[in-house]
Amino acid sequence: MKRRVVVTGMGAVTPLGNSVKDTWEGICGGRSGVAGITKFDTTGFDTKIAAELKNFDPLIFVNKKELRRYDDFIIYSLASAEMAMVDSGLRIEGSWADRVGVIIGSAIGGLATIENQKEILMKAGPGRVSPFTIPAALANLSAGQVSIRFSAKGPINCTVTACASGTNAIGDAMRIIQQGYADVMIAGGVDAAITPLSVSCFNAMRALSIRNDEPQRASRPFDRDRDGFVMGEGCGIVVMEELSFARNRGARIYAEIAGYGMTSDAFHMAAPPPGHEGAARCMLAALSDGDMVPGDIDYINAHGTSTPLNDQYEIEAIRTVFGESAKSVCISSTKSMTGHLLGGAGGVEAILTVKTIEEGVLPATVNLENPDVGTDLDLIPLQARQKSIETAMSNTFGFGGVNAVLVFKGYRD
């Protein structure tokens, strides 16, 4: 028998708000977090828009010395983990600290630090490069700093699986609890990669939207007028516990993590295969892991990046898995509001999927005015919808052909 795993705490910083509460209010209101880039001068760039954090005060979560030494992705992780731990009401005791672990995924890590220090190297020479560059840039240091902050001495890891990083982190953490290697895991995903190099590289691939004159309308999953994804930044962290551990301490339980699947396309470094059979296998694997069938799923938080191939092939994969019942499943892409948070997407979207179960509100796919795929499916266009649901799926797919899927369900004793 697999040990049951539940979500007891959630924390997030996103383009829609600097907490889960503010983010969820933005989601329910159909608000876009996309605007003009403020982090650097976009003169000469094809893309001048992104989904940045707004009014985020890092000094609430780190001191001035840490602020100088940490990359933003580490600060976002510490902020989200702090909120998740407070939300859970969990205080780690030294006698069982080795039963608490951390897995935080990141696709890019501290790219901003690397770019900044490279500029210092070129202008001022090697003697002026910061000794804190490597600890600020390594992708695993978000998990490392969170484990230090909370004295979590159990399993620790960093999943680096492109846009599936956050989902893989939560799924792998679930498995660690199921198999008895830990009782509590702090897990999620983060990225803070709105930088000149990152934007110019994605522009070179023609992957980003260039709808600069209408930033809030730029992220348009499943819409015929989409022209690429909108880069975002942020972090989503959940506290996960073995069920009896959570019950024994009287924890509030948001949802149960019922299934996890991961597969590889083994096809192309960036493009999904026709029909996205890898994604279909991944959804089926998550369902099988949770002893479920497609008809059990009420809602899918789609990967839905607002890129032509991803949107088309994800819909085809959903049709493959769900068959005729695909028409009765509610589907939406919250990236239409948050943008694509890269490695942070899976963590934030897992939280939003849990919130749909908790609140009975299905997020909309905003900007979906003229769908060109899934026209016979319920893609929840334009406005959120009230509906009580029991079970929901969160899809994430990434470069390298990686696919990761989580299934959540309302907790029942």
All structural domains of the chain with their residue ranges: 5-248, 259-409
**Which pairing describes strands 100-105 and 234-242: parallel, antiparallel, or unpaired?**
unpaired
Helix residue ranges, H only, 46-110: 64-69, 72-88
Burial class (CB in 10 A: 0-12, 13-18, 19+), 11: buried
Percent of residues, the chain, with pLDDT higher than 70: 100
**Which pairing describes strands 35-36 and 49-50: parallel, antiparallel, or unpaired?**
antiparallel
Per-residue pLDDT, averaged over 107-123, amounts to: 97
Q: What is the pLDDT of residues 277-319, one digit of tens each?
A: 999 999 999 999 999 999 999 999 999 999 999 999 999 999 9
* pTM of this prediction exceeds 0.95: yes
Residues 129, 201: Cα–Cα separation, whole Å: 24
Residues 161, 163: Cα–Cα separation, whole Å: 6
Q: What is the pLDDT of residues 14-35, one digit of tens each?
A: 999 999 999 999 999 999 999 9
Q: What is the pLDDT of residues 35-66, one digit of tens each?
A: 999 999 999 999 999 999 999 999 999 999 99
Per-residue pLDDT, averaged over 188-193, amounts to: 98
393: helix, strand or coil: strand
**Residue tagged active-site, from 158, 163, 235, 282:** 163
**Which pairing describes strands 299-301 and 330-332: parallel, antiparallel, or unpaired?**
parallel
pLDDT > 90? residue 215: yes
For residue 159, the one-letter residue type is: T
Phi, psi for 17 (deg, rounded to 5): 170, 160
CATH number assigned to the domain covering 259-409: 3.40.47.10
Q: What is the pLDDT of residues 341-382, one digit of tens each?
A: 999 999 999 999 999 999 999 999 999 999 999 999 999 999
Per-residue pLDDT, averaged over 123-130, amounts to: 97
Tracing tokens 């969990």 back to the chain, one arrives at 90
Domain 5-248 has CATH 3.40.47.10: yes
413 pLDDT band, cuts 50/70/90, is confident
361: helix, strand or coil: strand
Residue 261: name the closest of 379, 164, 143, 158 by CA.
164
Nearest-Å Rg of the Cα atoms of the chain is 20
Phi-psi region of 30 (alpha: psi -120 to 50; beta: other; left: phi over 0): left
Structure tokens at 216: 């809030």
Q: Is residue 163 among the annotated active site residues?
A: yes
**Residue tagged active-site, from 158, 282, 303, 330:** 303
Residues 14, 392: Cα–Cα separation, whole Å: 21
Q: Is residue 282 among the annotated active site residues?
A: no
CA angle, residues 387, 189, 176, in degrees to nearest 5: 90
Structure tokens at 271: 């493009």
What is the model's pLDDT at position 224? 96
Residues 187, 168: Cα–Cα separation, whole Å: 9
Topology agreement, domain 5-248 and domain 259-409: yes
User: Do residues 194 and 215 touch, judged by C-beta distance below 8 A?
Assistant: no
Q: Is residue 268 among the annotated active site residues?
A: no
